[in-house]
Amino acid sequence: MSGLKRMGVALLLAVSAFAPASAEVKELTVVVPNPSAINNYPLHVAVGEGYFEEEGLSVKVEAVNGSASVLQLLASGQGDIGQPGPAPLLAARVRGEDIVFIYNHFSRSVFGLVVPEESPAQTPADLKGATIGVGTADGAEVGFTRGIMTDLGLTEGTDYQFLAIGDGGTAVAAFINKEVSAYAAAVADAAIISSRGIPLREITPTAYLDYFGNGWAVTRAFLDENPQTLEGFGRALVKGTRFGLDPANRDATLKHVAAGNPQESEDPAFAAALLTAIQSRTVPVDPKDPVGFMPPAAWKKWEESLVASGDLDKPMDDLEAAYTNKFIDVWNAAK
């Protein structure tokens, strides 16, 4: 080898010794399962208030159709951070996709059992003999509500019945016409009804709120290779959550979500009602839990429910590998 070549090799080795093995990703593609900005108010507040920019992060939000699409994009590397539901994530892990929940966005169930504000019903037990409205006969809200009623010893078809009434205007009409006494609803459905002049009151037992909804997830490889990026991402979300939940910032929060999806906020009354409903789902069930925390007991509930329903053949070999709370303290220390 010539002296010139030896010098070039030595220089290359010297540079390599001081260069980082890999730079962390700072331009993030964030994948969400639907286009609603209000569903993700902390994300859009963090964008609007500059919290991501403060962390040196650039965030591009991509909306797809459902958790399955979110998980596919994460697994293929086309998305960096995604927001799937817990059940699809566990199913993906069974298929061998090592994707990990890192942040509990919807700390409470996104479904609820609601009644008109003036209803005498205070608990689900008071609905014995009632007709409960649902969006569709085979929707997820049916199984959610059936589980509540079964635990109370009430049998569908004998002690109560479901009636598919759709959502939006048809659901409002069903209440007005006294066709149903209660409604098993996703938070958006309840917000629509409330915004159209029928205030609703939730009677979901606290134990069922533990069935948390969608949260932020990444592949194991991304988790291992980008810890500082994920610390910054979570800090920005926690700040966005705190800002959004502060009544003093109500107008600013509505402005930020409108920037994220202008069409969703064309009806100010609906946007305000939906924001209130969504925010109630992002508050931890246990007030002592920090923002984003995932209670291990709640994951166990999900696993047991999925095994009982047949969605999982058996309990996970390592349920704890499906999630991590490693960043929680760092995120919540942010001011």
- The two structure tokens encoding residue 11: 């220089």
In this predicted structure, the answer to whether residue 18 has a pLDDT above a threshold of 50 is no
Rounded CA separation 331/335 (Å): 9
User: Which of the given ranges, 22-36, 139-153, 171-185, 317-331, has the highest pLDDT on average?
Assistant: 317-331
- Check if the beta carbon of residue 101 is closer than 8 Å to that of residue 217: yes
Rounded CA separation 128/155 (Å): 9
Confidence of residue 22 (pLDDT cuts 50, 70, 90): low
Domains and CATH numbers, the chain: 27-108+212-332 (3.40.190.10), 111-209 (3.40.190.10)
Residue 206's CB is within 10 A of a number of other CB atoms, namely 9
As a whole-number percent, the residues of the chain with pLDDT over 70 amount to 93
In this predicted structure, the answer to whether residue 32 has a pLDDT above a threshold of 70 is yes
